[in-house]
Chains A and B, each alone.
Chain A
Amino acid sequence: MSAGLSLAHEPVSKIPNGKLAMWGFLGSELMFFTGFFGAFIVLRNANYDVFGEGSSHLNVWLALVNTFFLIGSSLTMALCIHNAEHGNRGKQQLFLGLTLLGALGFLVIKSIEYSDKWGHGYFPTQPHHTLFYSFYFIMTGFHALHVIAGMIPMVFMWLRGFSKEGYPHPLKLEVLGLYWHFVDLMWIFIFPALYLMIPYHGAAAAH
């Protein structure tokens, strides 16, 4: 009787354990980023000029390209999971590879941006740039770390996909996909917050 018992699904909720755990983890990740966003909103609205000056030096176009890299890799991740669930190994490998490529592209552009900021002295240690660039480097830095953290299991899954039996766990791919989409979600907020919502002087003048 007990031989047929499968614990792959939690018996009451019918949700796979790994998936539930990932959603719980994403909840804690949300709280982690919420701290930054909360502090950002409060300090931004209290220091209009500093944040306006700081974000006017950022390169919106590089960040826009990066946004497309992330959206694209989110799409390919979803397509990869879809093909994994339908047993299309070739397409699963193709789309996982494209996802990795998108992540790599994101990091390359991010490093170009960082080195440009460093080169021009836009760094938290510079007296005028402390406040805005602390937020810039911490928020985008932690986001980039999340991208790297997602790429590590992705590389393993991709490489194992080339073996004879392929990558045999579509559910694990789906759980990784949840994390990957979350990384995309955080960028959806970080991009306008840091690059686009530049407080401009009309507001300061009216104050």
Chain B
Amino acid sequence: MAHSHEHDHGNVIKEYMKVFWTLCGLTVLTVVAAKVHFPLTWGTPGDILHVTIGIIIAVIKVIAVMYVFMHLKFDNPLIRAFVYVPTFLFLVLTFALNFLETWHYTYPTLP
């Protein structure tokens, strides 16, 4: 909090607006990407692409919200370490491990 005072009044608001429009744009992009029916790509069903694109966009949105709205950008570096490590573990454990596990029996032909 103390650090945010050092920032110029208008600049912070500009940054908030930038994040807001980014979030709006990415939300629309998620919906559009979900409505597109990808052909069978690289011998795998299009659903993998859908999910991958959806997760990548969601992660970008989450980073934008945490970095600017939740003040990590202006905050004590200790909080950043305190937040980044569990968040990284959350993303890896939830998405990567679960998907690796289930895709293996959903698509047995994939490596």
Contacts and interface: CB of A to CB of B under 8 A. Distances in A.
Interface of A: 13-16, 19-20, 23, 27, 30, 34, 37-38, 41-42, 44-46, 48, 60, 64, 67-68, 71-72, 74-75, 77-79, 82, 85-86, 170-171, 174, 177-178, 181-182, 184-185, 188-189, 191-193, 196-200, 202-203, 206-207
B68 to A, nearest CB: 8
Given A23-B82, A30-B90, A202-B37, A46 B69 contact: no
A79 B66 CA distance: 15
Given A38-B98, A79-B13, A197-B54, A15 B106 contact: no
Contact of B16 (A15, A79, A191, A200): A79
B94 A174 contact: no
A67 B58 CA distance: 12
Given A19-B1, A74-B69, A200-B37, 7 more contacts: A30-B90, A34-B93, A41-B94, A77-B69, A79-B13, A191-B27, A207-B107
A41 B102 contact: yes
Contact of A75 (B16, B34, B46): B16
A15 B79 contact: yes
A41 B47 CA distance: 13
A71 B45 CA distance: 32
A185 B47 contact: no
Given A41-B98, A42-B101, A16 B69 contact: no
Question: Chain B interface secondary structure, helix, strand, loop or mixed?
Answer: helix
Given A34-B90, A82-B13, A46 B62 contact: no
B37 A196 contact: no
B78 A37 contact: no
Nearest to B51: A197
Interface in B25-82: 27, 30-31, 34, 37, 40, 45-47, 50-51, 54-55, 57-58, 61-62, 65-66, 68-71, 76, 78-79, 82
- Which of A30, A45, A177, A199 has the largest count of B CB atoms less than 10 A from its CB? A45
B101 A198 contact: no
Contacts of B55: 192
A13 B4 contact: no
B71 A46 contact: no
Contacts of A178: 70
